[in-house]
Protein backbone atom coordinates (compact mmCIF):
# COMPACT_ATOMS: atom_id res chain seq x y z
CA UNK A 1 0.00 0.00 0.00
CA UNK A 2 1.57 3.26 -1.12
CA UNK A 3 0.58 6.33 0.91
CA UNK A 4 1.48 9.93 0.09
CA UNK A 5 1.52 11.95 3.31
CA UNK A 6 0.91 15.67 2.84
CA UNK A 7 2.14 17.10 6.13
CA UNK A 8 2.85 20.66 7.28
CA UNK A 9 6.38 20.29 8.64
CA UNK A 10 9.71 18.61 8.09
CA UNK A 11 10.09 15.11 9.50
CA UNK A 12 10.50 14.94 13.30
CA UNK A 13 9.97 18.67 13.87
CA UNK A 14 6.22 18.95 14.57
CA UNK A 15 4.36 17.53 17.60
CA UNK A 16 1.26 16.72 15.52
CA UNK A 17 3.26 14.64 13.08
CA UNK A 18 5.51 13.09 15.70
CA UNK A 19 2.65 11.87 17.91
CA UNK A 20 0.47 10.74 15.03
CA UNK A 21 1.65 9.42 11.64
CA UNK A 22 5.39 9.45 12.29
CA UNK A 23 4.89 7.39 15.44
CA UNK A 24 2.54 4.94 13.74
CA UNK A 25 4.73 4.50 10.65
CA UNK A 26 7.04 1.70 11.91
CA UNK A 27 4.00 -0.36 12.94
CA UNK A 28 2.17 0.38 9.69
CA UNK A 29 5.25 -0.65 7.74
CA UNK A 30 4.99 -4.12 9.30
CA UNK A 31 1.64 -4.40 7.47
CA UNK A 32 3.19 -3.38 4.15
CA UNK A 33 2.34 0.33 4.22
CA UNK A 34 4.91 2.49 2.42
CA UNK A 35 4.68 6.17 3.40
CA UNK A 36 6.23 8.99 1.38
CA UNK A 37 6.32 12.25 3.32
CA UNK A 38 5.77 15.52 1.48
CA UNK A 39 6.13 18.44 3.93
CA UNK A 40 4.77 21.83 2.93
CA UNK A 41 7.66 23.72 4.48
CA UNK A 42 11.32 23.51 3.51
CA UNK A 43 14.35 24.13 5.72
CA UNK A 44 14.26 27.89 5.14
CA UNK A 45 10.56 28.29 5.96
CA UNK A 46 10.90 25.98 8.96
CA UNK A 47 13.62 28.23 10.40
CA UNK A 48 11.40 31.32 10.10
CA UNK A 49 7.81 30.21 10.58
CA UNK A 50 7.68 30.82 14.36
CA UNK A 51 9.90 33.90 14.35
CA UNK A 52 8.14 37.25 14.70
CA UNK A 53 7.90 39.56 11.71
CA UNK A 54 9.55 39.01 8.30
CA UNK A 55 6.06 38.65 6.80
CA UNK A 56 7.27 39.43 3.27
CA UNK A 57 9.93 36.72 3.31
CA UNK A 58 7.53 34.24 4.88
CA UNK A 59 4.97 34.98 2.16
CA UNK A 60 7.59 34.34 -0.52
CA UNK A 61 8.58 31.03 1.06
CA UNK A 62 4.92 30.01 1.39
CA UNK A 63 4.53 30.78 -2.31
CA UNK A 64 7.42 28.44 -3.01
CA UNK A 65 5.68 25.77 -0.96
CA UNK A 66 2.50 26.22 -3.00
CA UNK A 67 4.56 25.63 -6.13
CA UNK A 68 5.91 22.36 -4.71
CA UNK A 69 2.40 21.24 -3.91
CA UNK A 70 1.21 22.00 -7.44
CA UNK A 71 4.02 19.91 -8.91
CA UNK A 72 3.16 17.05 -6.57
CA UNK A 73 -0.49 16.94 -7.64
CA UNK A 74 0.60 15.51 -11.00
CA UNK A 75 1.99 12.46 -9.18
CA UNK A 76 -0.88 11.58 -6.83
CA UNK A 77 -2.16 8.82 -9.12
CA UNK A 78 1.04 6.92 -8.30
CA UNK A 79 -0.30 6.34 -4.78
CA UNK A 80 -3.10 4.21 -3.38
CA UNK A 81 -4.27 6.95 -1.04
CA UNK A 82 -3.31 10.42 0.17
CA UNK A 83 -3.07 11.14 3.90
CA UNK A 84 -3.49 14.83 4.77
CA UNK A 85 -2.59 16.14 8.22
CA UNK A 86 -4.49 19.35 9.03
CA UNK A 87 -4.26 20.83 5.52
CA UNK A 88 -2.42 20.34 2.24
CA UNK A 89 -1.17 23.94 2.20
CA UNK A 90 -0.21 26.27 5.02
CA UNK A 91 -2.34 29.11 3.62
CA UNK A 92 -5.25 29.51 1.26
CA UNK A 93 -8.48 27.66 0.41
CA UNK A 94 -8.62 23.86 -0.13
CA UNK A 95 -7.40 23.99 -3.73
CA UNK A 96 -5.05 21.01 -3.55
CA UNK A 97 -7.50 18.84 -1.63
CA UNK A 98 -10.07 19.44 -4.36
CA UNK A 99 -7.55 18.63 -7.11
CA UNK A 100 -6.70 15.33 -5.42
CA UNK A 101 -10.39 14.51 -5.02
CA UNK A 102 -11.01 15.25 -8.71
CA UNK A 103 -8.33 12.69 -9.59
CA UNK A 104 -10.28 10.00 -7.70
CA UNK A 105 -7.47 9.30 -5.24
CA UNK A 106 -8.90 8.46 -1.78
CA UNK A 107 -8.12 10.99 0.95
CA UNK A 108 -7.67 10.20 4.65
CA UNK A 109 -7.90 13.53 6.48
CA UNK A 110 -6.44 13.76 9.98
CA UNK A 111 -6.49 16.64 12.47
CA UNK A 112 -5.72 16.90 16.17
CA UNK A 113 -6.51 20.56 16.89
CA UNK A 114 -9.52 22.83 16.40
CA UNK A 115 -8.10 23.95 13.04
CA UNK A 116 -11.59 25.13 12.06
CA UNK A 117 -11.29 27.98 14.60
CA UNK A 118 -9.69 31.18 13.31
CA UNK A 119 -6.54 31.90 15.28
CA UNK A 120 -4.19 34.89 15.16
CA UNK A 121 -0.66 33.64 15.70
CA UNK A 122 1.55 35.84 17.91
CA UNK A 123 4.42 35.16 15.47
CA UNK A 124 2.64 35.69 12.15
CA UNK A 125 -0.03 38.29 12.93
CA UNK A 126 -2.72 38.82 10.37
CA UNK A 127 -1.06 36.41 7.94
CA UNK A 128 -2.76 33.75 10.12
CA UNK A 129 -6.16 34.75 8.75
CA UNK A 130 -5.09 33.58 5.28
CA UNK A 131 -5.18 30.02 6.63
CA UNK A 132 -8.91 29.84 5.73
CA UNK A 133 -9.96 27.93 8.84
CA UNK A 134 -13.36 27.30 7.22
CA UNK A 135 -11.71 25.02 4.64
CA UNK A 136 -11.60 22.26 7.28
CA UNK A 137 -15.28 21.51 6.67
CA UNK A 138 -14.72 21.19 2.92
CA UNK A 139 -11.81 18.78 3.43
CA UNK A 140 -13.91 16.73 5.86
CA UNK A 141 -16.69 16.52 3.27
CA UNK A 142 -14.54 15.29 0.37
CA UNK A 143 -12.38 12.92 2.44
CA UNK A 144 -12.94 9.17 2.17
CA UNK A 145 -12.36 8.96 5.92
CA UNK A 146 -11.65 11.48 8.68
CA UNK A 147 -9.43 10.70 11.67
CA UNK A 148 -9.53 13.08 14.64
CA UNK A 149 -7.78 13.27 17.97
CA UNK A 150 -10.79 13.61 20.28
CA UNK A 151 -14.62 13.52 20.42
CA UNK A 152 -14.98 17.32 20.20
CA UNK A 153 -13.25 17.30 16.81
CA UNK A 154 -15.28 14.27 15.75
CA UNK A 155 -18.50 16.14 16.47
CA UNK A 156 -17.40 18.87 14.07
CA UNK A 157 -16.34 16.45 11.31
CA UNK A 158 -19.58 14.45 11.52
CA UNK A 159 -21.55 17.50 10.42
CA UNK A 160 -20.52 16.67 6.84
CA UNK A 161 -19.10 13.13 6.90
CA UNK A 162 -20.26 10.02 8.77
CA UNK A 163 -16.97 8.16 8.20
CA UNK A 164 -15.17 9.64 11.20
CA UNK A 165 -12.98 7.78 13.72
CA UNK A 166 -11.39 9.09 16.91
CA UNK A 167 -7.71 8.09 16.97
CA UNK A 168 -5.99 9.72 19.94
CA UNK A 169 -2.48 11.10 19.64
CA UNK A 170 -0.19 8.49 21.10
CA UNK A 171 2.94 7.97 23.14
CA UNK A 172 5.91 5.76 22.34
CA UNK A 173 5.81 3.82 25.61
CA UNK A 174 9.25 2.33 24.96
CA UNK A 175 10.89 5.75 24.84
CA UNK A 176 8.80 7.41 27.54
CA UNK A 177 9.12 5.34 30.70
CA UNK A 178 9.09 6.00 34.43
CA UNK A 179 12.63 6.86 35.59
CA UNK A 180 14.25 5.06 38.54
CA UNK A 181 13.28 6.25 42.01
CA UNK A 182 14.94 9.57 42.88
CA UNK A 183 17.15 10.11 45.89
CA UNK A 184 17.41 13.89 45.56
CA UNK A 185 17.36 15.83 48.81
CA UNK A 186 16.32 19.09 47.11
CA UNK A 187 12.80 20.46 46.67
CA UNK A 188 10.30 18.56 44.55
CA UNK A 189 9.81 19.78 40.98
CA UNK A 190 6.51 20.88 39.45
CA UNK A 191 6.82 20.83 35.68
CA UNK A 192 5.15 22.19 32.57
CA UNK A 193 6.04 21.51 28.93
CA UNK A 194 4.89 23.36 25.83
CA UNK A 195 6.09 26.09 23.49
CA UNK A 196 6.46 29.84 23.24
CA UNK A 197 2.93 30.02 21.80
CA UNK A 198 1.30 28.05 24.66
CA UNK A 199 3.27 29.37 27.63
CA UNK A 200 0.38 31.81 28.12
CA UNK A 201 -1.55 28.81 29.49
CA UNK A 202 1.01 28.41 32.27
CA UNK A 203 0.56 32.10 33.05
CA UNK A 204 -2.94 31.27 34.31
CA UNK A 205 -1.32 29.36 37.20
CA UNK A 206 0.88 32.24 38.39
CA UNK A 207 -1.37 33.23 41.27
CA UNK A 208 -1.88 29.62 42.40
CA UNK A 209 1.86 28.92 42.28
CA UNK A 210 2.64 32.05 44.30
CA UNK A 211 0.11 30.99 46.96
CA UNK A 212 1.54 27.49 46.93
CA UNK A 213 5.07 28.84 47.45
CA UNK A 214 3.92 30.49 50.68
CA UNK A 215 3.16 27.11 52.22
CA UNK A 216 5.27 24.54 50.33
CA UNK A 217 8.83 24.17 49.08
CA UNK A 218 9.13 23.34 45.36
CA UNK A 219 10.88 24.29 42.14
CA UNK A 220 9.14 25.01 38.81
CA UNK A 221 10.63 23.55 35.63
CA UNK A 222 9.33 25.19 32.42
CA UNK A 223 10.17 23.37 29.18
CA UNK A 224 9.57 25.20 25.91
CA UNK A 225 10.89 28.71 26.51
CA UNK A 226 14.37 29.90 27.52
CA UNK A 227 13.03 32.49 29.97
CA UNK A 228 10.15 32.42 32.42
CA UNK A 229 9.54 34.37 35.61
CA UNK A 230 7.08 33.85 38.44
CA UNK A 231 7.66 36.09 41.47
CA UNK A 232 8.46 34.24 44.74
CA UNK A 233 8.79 30.93 42.84
CA UNK A 234 12.13 29.30 41.99
CA UNK A 235 12.00 28.77 38.21
CA UNK A 236 14.18 26.80 35.84
CA UNK A 237 13.29 27.54 32.18
CA UNK A 238 14.72 25.70 29.20
CA UNK A 239 14.18 25.25 25.48
CA UNK A 240 12.32 22.17 24.27
CA UNK A 241 14.68 19.60 22.72
CA UNK A 242 13.38 16.56 20.86
CA UNK A 243 16.51 14.50 21.44
CA UNK A 244 16.48 14.93 25.24
CA UNK A 245 12.76 15.31 25.95
CA UNK A 246 12.34 12.15 28.11
CA UNK A 247 15.41 13.07 30.15
CA UNK A 248 14.21 16.67 30.57
CA UNK A 249 10.81 15.43 31.75
CA UNK A 250 12.29 12.81 34.10
CA UNK A 251 13.36 15.50 36.60
CA UNK A 252 9.71 16.47 37.16
CA UNK A 253 7.83 15.09 40.18
CA UNK A 254 4.40 16.59 39.39
CA UNK A 255 3.14 17.59 35.92
CA UNK A 256 0.65 20.38 35.26
CA UNK A 257 -1.49 21.12 32.21
CA UNK A 258 -3.62 24.24 32.69
CA UNK A 259 -5.88 25.24 29.78
CA UNK A 260 -8.38 28.05 29.15
CA UNK A 261 -11.94 26.91 28.45
CA UNK A 262 -12.29 28.10 24.85
CA UNK A 263 -13.05 26.55 21.43
CA UNK A 264 -9.39 26.22 20.48
CA UNK A 265 -8.39 24.50 23.73
CA UNK A 266 -11.32 22.07 23.55
CA UNK A 267 -9.69 20.69 20.41
CA UNK A 268 -6.46 19.81 22.24
CA UNK A 269 -5.64 16.12 22.58
CA UNK A 270 -4.00 16.13 26.02
CA UNK A 271 -0.51 15.34 24.78
CA UNK A 272 1.31 17.16 27.60
CA UNK A 273 -0.68 15.20 30.17
CA UNK A 274 -0.07 11.93 28.34
CA UNK A 275 3.68 12.54 28.26
CA UNK A 276 3.77 13.07 32.01
CA UNK A 277 1.54 10.06 32.64
CA UNK A 278 3.62 7.78 30.40
CA UNK A 279 6.61 8.58 32.59
CA UNK A 280 4.74 7.80 35.79
CA UNK A 281 4.54 11.49 36.76
CA UNK A 282 1.30 12.35 38.64
CA UNK A 283 -0.54 14.94 36.58
CA UNK A 284 -3.03 17.74 37.23
CA UNK A 285 -5.14 19.15 34.36
CA UNK A 286 -7.83 21.73 33.79
CA UNK A 287 -11.24 20.15 33.07
CA UNK A 288 -11.18 21.23 29.42
CA UNK A 289 -11.87 19.08 26.37
CA UNK A 290 -10.39 15.59 26.29
CA UNK A 291 -8.60 16.04 29.64
CA UNK A 292 -11.62 14.73 31.53
CA UNK A 293 -11.68 11.65 29.27
CA UNK A 294 -8.02 10.93 29.93
CA UNK A 295 -8.01 11.65 33.68
CA UNK A 296 -10.50 10.41 36.27
CA UNK A 297 -10.02 12.64 39.29
CA UNK A 298 -8.07 11.03 42.13
CA UNK A 299 -7.83 7.73 40.22
CA UNK A 300 -5.11 8.26 37.60
CA UNK A 301 -4.46 11.98 38.12
CA UNK A 302 -6.14 15.14 39.32
CA UNK A 303 -8.56 17.60 37.73
CA UNK A 304 -8.45 21.19 39.04
CA UNK A 305 -11.07 23.74 38.00
CA UNK A 306 -10.29 26.67 40.32
CA UNK A 307 -7.27 28.37 41.83
CA UNK A 308 -8.07 26.92 45.24
CA UNK A 309 -8.28 23.42 43.75
CA UNK A 310 -4.91 23.83 42.05
CA UNK A 311 -3.30 24.92 45.33
CA UNK A 312 -4.98 22.18 47.37
CA UNK A 313 -4.17 19.32 44.99
CA UNK A 314 -0.61 20.43 44.34
CA UNK A 315 -0.12 20.63 48.12
CA UNK A 316 -1.44 17.09 48.56
CA UNK A 317 0.96 15.76 45.97
CA UNK A 318 3.95 17.65 47.34
CA UNK A 319 3.27 16.28 50.82
CA UNK A 320 2.56 12.63 49.95
CA UNK A 321 5.05 10.34 48.22
CA UNK A 322 2.49 7.53 48.39
CA UNK A 323 -0.12 9.64 46.54
CA UNK A 324 2.42 10.59 43.86
CA UNK A 325 3.31 6.94 43.33
CA UNK A 326 -0.31 5.77 43.20
CA UNK A 327 -1.46 8.36 40.68
CA UNK A 328 1.75 8.06 38.67
CA UNK A 329 1.44 4.29 38.29
CA UNK A 330 -2.25 4.55 37.38
CA UNK A 331 -1.45 7.23 34.79
CA UNK A 332 1.19 5.02 33.19
CA UNK A 333 -1.30 2.13 33.00
CA UNK A 334 -3.85 4.42 31.30
CA UNK A 335 -1.36 5.36 28.58
CA UNK A 336 -0.35 1.74 28.00
CA UNK A 337 -3.95 0.62 27.65
CA UNK A 338 -5.45 3.44 25.56
CA UNK A 339 -2.89 5.97 24.34
CA UNK A 340 0.13 4.01 23.13
CA UNK A 341 1.20 3.76 19.49
CA UNK A 342 1.07 -0.02 19.66
CA UNK A 343 -2.65 0.02 20.52
CA UNK A 344 -3.71 2.67 17.98
CA UNK A 345 -1.59 1.97 14.86
CA UNK A 346 -3.53 -1.21 14.01
CA UNK A 347 -6.74 0.84 14.02
CA UNK A 348 -5.16 3.29 11.56
CA UNK A 349 -4.18 0.39 9.29
CA UNK A 350 -7.77 -0.88 9.32
CA UNK A 351 -8.97 2.58 8.28
CA UNK A 352 -6.50 2.67 5.38
CA UNK A 353 -7.65 -0.80 4.29
CA UNK A 354 -11.33 0.15 4.48
CA UNK A 355 -10.71 3.26 2.38
CA UNK A 356 -9.08 1.22 -0.37
CA UNK A 357 -11.82 -1.39 -0.20
CA UNK A 358 -14.53 1.25 -0.49
CA UNK A 359 -12.66 2.91 -3.38
CA UNK A 360 -12.52 -0.50 -5.09
CA UNK A 361 -8.74 -0.41 -5.53
CA UNK A 362 -7.72 -3.72 -7.22
CA UNK A 363 -6.31 -6.20 -4.73
CA UNK A 364 -3.42 -6.98 -7.06
CA UNK A 365 -2.29 -3.33 -7.05
CA UNK A 366 -2.37 -3.18 -3.27
CA UNK A 367 -0.39 -6.41 -2.90
CA UNK A 368 2.25 -5.17 -5.33
CA UNK A 369 2.56 -1.92 -3.39
CA UNK A 370 2.91 -3.83 -0.15
CA UNK A 371 5.75 -5.95 -1.47
CA UNK A 372 7.74 -2.84 -2.39
CA UNK A 373 7.30 -1.08 0.95
CA UNK A 374 10.38 0.83 2.15
CA UNK A 375 9.00 3.45 4.54
CA UNK A 376 10.36 6.49 2.69
CA UNK A 377 10.68 9.67 4.78
CA UNK A 378 10.64 11.80 1.66
* Alpha helices by DSSP H, the chain: 15-18, 21-29, 43-48, 55-73, 95-102, 135-142, 151-157, 199-203, 206-213, 245-250, 263-266, 271-278, 291-294, 307-319, 321-338, 341-358, 363-371
23-36, pLDDT tens digit by residue? Answer: 999 999 999 999 99
Judged by phi (left if over 0) then psi (alpha if -120 to 50, else beta), residue 103 lies in alpha
Where in the chain are all domains bearing CATH 3.40.50.2000?
2-170+340-371, 188-338
Task: Give, for all 378 residues of the chain, the pLDDT tens digit.
Answer: 999 999 999 998 888 899 999 999 999 999 999 999 999 998 877 776 666 666 677 778 888 889 999 999 989 999 999 999 999 998 889 999 999 999 999 999 999 998 998 765 554 455 555 667 889 999 999 999 999 999 999 999 999 999 999 999 999 999 999 888 776 678 999 999 998 778 999 999 999 999 999 999 999 999 999 999 999 999 999 998 888 999 999 999 999 999 998 888 888 888 999 999 999 999 999 999 899 999 999 999 999 999 999 999 999 999 999 999 999 999 999 999 999 999 999 999 999 999 999 987 654 344 443 333 334 554
Q: Are 193 and 223 in contact (CB under 8 A)?
A: yes
- Report the distance separating Cα 183 and Cα 285, nearest Å: 27
Looking at residue 301, what is its pLDDT? Answer: 97
Looking at residue 350, what is its pLDDT? Answer: 97
- Number of CB atoms found within 10 A of residue 197's CB: 14
Please tell me whether residue 256 adopts helix, strand or coil conformation.
strand
In sequence order, what are the beta bridge partners of 121?
125
Give the pTM: 0.86
Beta-carbon contacts of 183 under 8 Å, excluding residues fewer than 6 positions away, are none
Looking at residue 39, what is its pLDDT? Answer: 95
Range 188-338 has CATH code 3.40.50.2000: yes
CA distances from 30 to 21, 315, 319 (A): 14, 46, 46
Please tell me whether residue 253 adopts helix, strand or coil conformation.
coil
203-227, pLDDT tens digit by residue? Answer: 999 999 999 999 999 999 999 999 9
Looking at residue 275, what is its pLDDT? Answer: 96
Quick one: CA torsion of 21, 25, 28, 33, rounded to 10 degrees? 100
Q: Topology of 2-170+340-371 in CATH? A: Rossmann fold (3.40.50)
Helix or strand holding residue 195 (H, E): none
Amino acid sequence: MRVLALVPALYDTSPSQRYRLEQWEPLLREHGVEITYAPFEDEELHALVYESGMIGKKARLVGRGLGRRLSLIRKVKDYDLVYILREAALLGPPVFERLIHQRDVPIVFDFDDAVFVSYRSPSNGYLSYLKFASKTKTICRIASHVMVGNPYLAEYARQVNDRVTVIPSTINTERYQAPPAKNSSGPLVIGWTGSHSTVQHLDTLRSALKKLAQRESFRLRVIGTPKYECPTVEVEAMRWRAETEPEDLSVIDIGVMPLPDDRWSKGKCGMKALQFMAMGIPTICSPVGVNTDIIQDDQNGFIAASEDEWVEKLSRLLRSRELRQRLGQAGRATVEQKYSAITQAPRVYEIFKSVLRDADVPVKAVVQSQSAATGNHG
